[in-house]
Amino acid sequence: MLQIEQRKGVIVKALTMIVWLLAFSITLPAQTYDEKVEAYINRYKEIAITEMQRTGIPASITLAQGIIESNAGQSPLAMEANNHFGIKCHAGWMGASYIYDDDRKNECFRKYDSSLVSYKDHSDFLRNRERYAILFTYDTRDYTSWAKGLKACGYATNPQYANILIKCINDYDLHQWDLAPEERSAWFASLNRTGEITTIKETGNPEVINAQPTAMNVTERIYVFNDIDCVTLFEGETLNDLATAFALSLKRLMRYNDITEVSQIATGDRVFLQPKRQNGDVALHTVKEGETMFSISRDHGIQLARLYEKNLMKPGTEPKAGETLNLKELRKTAPALVNDDKGSLVKSVNSPVIESPAAGQVHVVSKGDTLYSISKKYNVTVTELKTINKLNSTDLQIGEKLVVAK
């Protein structure tokens, strides 16, 4: 009788935990891809640096491969098998395994006790196989050669694999983790002064000119708005100065703030140091005279693209003053627009536009895209997309180009 009661207690606790987790997952806003990547980098960068010191593999390469192969830690392989690099069992593997559909059904992948073990095995996998020997003749800081070498050695079948790795490294400033801490400010100063992605070789560092602001400690400037780290742009300060001070590339800082020109942010404006959220800080906003979608997205900490999507508006259009915009939920009809063009409105959530792709048409992957959503947009199947583009998995990288019709 006691055992039965104990079992009932365990079941009740388990059910309570499930209900709590479901409630938590419902109320917790979904992370953007940038947020997932930032969290992944913060969690695993020290392991990648340690592995670089142990084996000579650039930390930037290890992190980029982990981000891409594991979908920033969200893939079933990463979550259920701690396998961040898509390494299969191969002959001689004596450890645990995980069966997963990849190129073929029911393929055998390595399963690890922890992510740390996965990172170490990835390093040893490259270091101990003859096919990858040429990689270790490259400079540890030459991530471009490493990326191209990995593709040439057959690490992945995607023909764009090297470019995808390099883009990931550049988009998230991963090269900084190849450098000694005292070299990083110099690299950011050089990068933000020239606007070009460069590497710092062992022979020396670029000259540093006004790399750090002196008015106050950078951490004292940060305030949090809509759960995002922000600062205010000082008088006489440039976005280049700000990016360098907070260890960001100017390109990345501009992406976080939804701008294409530095002139779009003025003295006294809020500057986001992290990706803006998919939802605003409040549920609704009534448009005032002179406000734009850009200013509203900035004032409420919501990504500009998400603000357009939630309100069924095409990018570049503007709502009329007096209209109420949704900042959290999806609208059912679009608001009235300035210079209202009926053809520019999306009339209903239930009437998606299906594009008929022209032969050879290309889709550039953006935040939130999945193979399923792309397949629906172009009226093709996921299998067709994977076949046309020679994809091994459903994981996508922002900026990746997919052919959507033969």
Can you give the pLDDT at residue 403? 80
Q: Residue 321, Cα to own-chain centre: how many angstroms?
A: 34
Longest dimension (CA), the chain: 77
CA 168 – CA 71 distance, rounded (Å):
12
Q: What is the mean pLDDT of residues 317-324?
A: 96
By residue count, the chain amounts to 406
Q: What is the mean pLDDT of residues 127-156?
A: 96
Can you give the pLDDT at residue 44? 98
Q: What is the mean pLDDT of residues 368-388?
A: 72
Q: 36-178 domain in CATH 1.10.530.10?
A: yes
Residue 203 has pLDDT above 90, yes or no: no
Question: 119-123, 155-159, 236-240, 383-387 — which one is most confidently predicted on average?
Answer: 119-123
Determine contact, residues 72/44, Cβ cutoff 8 Å. Answer: no
Residue 390 backbone phi and psi in degrees, to 5: 55, 45
CA 332 – CA 310 distance, rounded (Å):
9
Higher pLDDT, 277 or 357: 277
> Band of the pLDDT at 405, cuts 50, 70, 90?
low
Q: What is the mean pLDDT of residues 229-253?
A: 93
Determine contact, residues 123/57, Cβ cutoff 8 Å. Answer: yes
Residue 281 has pLDDT above 60, yes or no: yes
Higher pLDDT, 211 or 179: 179
Note whether 36-178 and 181-272 share their fold: no
What CATH homologous superfamily does 362-403 map to? LysM domain (3.10.350.10)
Residue 18 has pLDDT above 60, yes or no: no
CB atoms within 10 A of CB 124: 13
pLDDT for 27-78, tens place per residue?
445 678 899 999 999 999 999 999 999 999 999 999 999 999 999 999 999 9
Question: 157-161, 319-323, 346-350 — which one is most confidently predicted on average?
Answer: 319-323
Spell out the CATH class of 181-272.
Answer: alpha beta
Nearest to 69 by CA among 51, 50, 88: 88
Q: Lowest mean pLDDT: which of 11-25, 68-82, 351-365?
A: 11-25
Can you give the pLDDT at residue 265? 93
Residue 3 has pLDDT above 60, yes or no: no
Boundaries of every domain in the chain: 1-30, 36-178, 181-272, 284-344, 362-403
Residue 104 has pLDDT above 90, yes or no: no
Residue 207 has pLDDT above 60, yes or no: no
CA 297 – CA 389 distance, rounded (Å):
35
Higher pLDDT, 405 or 348: 405
Higher pLDDT, 324 or 102: 324
Can you give the pLDDT at residue 364? 78
Residue 231 has pLDDT above 70, yes or no: yes
Can you give the pLDDT at residue 29? 56
The H helix count followed by the E strand count for the chain is: 15, 9
Can you give the pLDDT at residue 389? 73
Can you give the pLDDT at residue 348? 37
> Band of the pLDDT at 26, cuts 50, 70, 90?
very low
CATH topology of domain 284-344: Membrane-bound Lytic Murein Transglycosylase D; Chain A (3.10.350)
How much of the chain exceeds pLDDT 70, in percent? 78
Q: Lowest mean pLDDT: which of 85-94, 131-140, 385-394?
A: 385-394
Can you give the pLDDT at residue 372? 66
> Band of the pLDDT at 2, cuts 50, 70, 90?
very low
Mean pLDDT of all residues belonging to the chain = 82
Give the global pTM: 0.69
Q: Lowest mean pLDDT: which of 28-32, 112-116, 134-138, 201-205?
A: 201-205
Q: What is the mean pLDDT of residues 257-266?
A: 92
